[in-house]
Amino acid sequence: MSEQGTRAVAAVTRLRAALEQTAAAMARPHLETLLAGESEIEGALADLTVMDSLSTEEQHAVRVEVDKTRGALVRCQRLGHALDHFVGISLEAQGRGEYGPRRTASSYAGQALDARV
């Protein structure tokens, strides 16, 4: 494998590891790890090179790693949506304002929720 091929596979592997770190940080939640994962993702993306000149073997190796990376990205997306939904419901239940992108008025607006057991 050429130096460019090795660097391309390493960059995609690094991106996958950063996405897995980010997903793990969202799952448990751990803010410091989440922020560290963000900077790792930026670094890995910056290391990605133009892959037009890779051999067929190198392209295959990169493609295998990209497929693994796609799984980590899907996990991050699902955890992010779940976390966004959880925070939105929590704020609605507390009668607080919106969170995230502007949305229509919540169904709980101006109401209190009695959650005593």
Residue 93 CA to residue 80 CA, distance in Å, equals 20
The number of C-alpha atoms within 13 Å of 46 and in the hemisphere containing its C-beta is 6
For 11-34, the pLDDT digits (tens) are 999 999 999 999 999 888 888 988
pLDDT for 8 equals 86
Residue 37 in this model has a pLDDT that exceeds 60: yes
Residue ranges covered by each domain of the chain: 3-93
Higher pLDDT, 5 or 71: 71
SS3 content of the chain, % helix, strand, coil (to 5): 70, 0, 30
